[in-house]
Chains A and B, each alone.
Chain A
C-alpha cells in the first residue's frame, strides 16, 4: 500500500459557477497520521471533506483515498472510509446499540459480526451501560462518542472527522480527544479531521494544514509551524516616552522588534533567556520596564502570520447555521 493515504492534486469545488469554496488545493496525508484542516467557518474545510468522502464531486482536479479515485471509484472509497460528521446523526428515538446496528446495516455487515463489533466499540467508548437507553437521554459527550463508534463499525482504514468536538465544553472536549487517540491506537488508522479550534489542532494533529478562503496557506506539524514563527513573543512596556526599538534589537536572541500602541512586540528565539537580557540592557541606559509578558507562540500566531488576521467567523449559509445550532444544542444535552 502506498505511503500516501490521501492525495489531492488541484482539488477544486466551485458552487453555482462562481462561489469557489475550495481552490486548487494540493496535499497528501501519510499512513497512520492525524492530519488536520484548520481554518475558520466557511474556509472550505467541510467542502474538502465532502469531496474526499465522495458526497460532492470536484469541479476540477482530482483526489484519491488509498489509491482509489474519489470521482471514478467512489464505491471503493466508501468501503474503506468511516465518517464522524459534524452533526449528531444518531437517531434520537433509537437506542445507542440500535444506532450502531443501523450503521452496520448500511455497510452490509451481517448481524452476527455487527453485534460483536458493536459490543467492542461500545466498550471502547464506554457506553456499554447506556447501550439500551434512547439517544435522546445522552449528553453531548456521549453522543459524540456514539458517533465515533458509528464511524468505526466498518473497520475503516481512513477515518474522517468533521469538527469532532463542535460545541462541547472544554472538559468533554479534552476527554473526546483522549477517545480519538485511543481509537487511533487501537485500529492503527489514518485520521483526517477538520477543526476551527486552535487548541484542538495543536493537541491532536500530527500535521496541520491551515486553510483560508479555500486555499491552503501552510502545512506542517504544529511544532514546526510554531517554530517557523521564529520563537517566542515578548511584550514589553517602559515608563519613559522614548523609542528604544534599536536598543532592544541589539540584545542577543532578539530577532524582531515592533512598536505597537506604546508597547514593544519582540520576537525572540529563546524568550525566557532573552527577556532578562532585555531588561538588563534597558536598565543600564536608565529606562524602567513597567510591564513584561512572555508567550510561546500558539497556532493562532501562526494563523495570524499567514493570513494577516485572527481566526474569524465568516458569514454562513442559513442551512449551515441551522445544523450548527442543532449540533450545539445537542452537544449541551438539550
Chain B
C-alpha cells in the first residue's frame, strides 16, 4: 500500500523541528533555509501550516523538466531528483503549485522531499503528530469517520430521546 506524508495543520505547534531535522539529516547541518519542508506561519494570527512536496500523481515538475531528471521512486512513491541529469534550470521551482521544490540557500541546487527513503525523519520528530506517514486508505477512512461523527452524535441524541 502506498504511504503518504499526511499533514494535519491543526495539530502543528509551529516549533519548526521538522525543518531543522530535515536539514540535519540531509545536509548534516541545521539550517531551515536548506530544509525540504517549511512551516508557513502567520505568527500574529496563530496559524501554522507545514508545507512540503505532495508527491503528485501527475507531477508538473516531472512534466516541465527538460532533462527528465525528476522520476518516481517505485518503492516509496516519492518524486526524486537525479542530480547527474539536473542542470539547475529551476523550471520545477516555478511550476510547482505548492512551493514543494525550493532552492538550497548555500549551493543553489534545487531541493525536494524524498521521504527519506520511506522513513521520514520529520514524522519521527513531530511530537504533536501534525506530520504522519500513513497508508492512503487509512487517511481517507479516518476523515470519513471524523465527518461521520456528526451523524453518529445526532443518532445518539435521537436514540436517547426515544
Chains A and B are bound partners: no
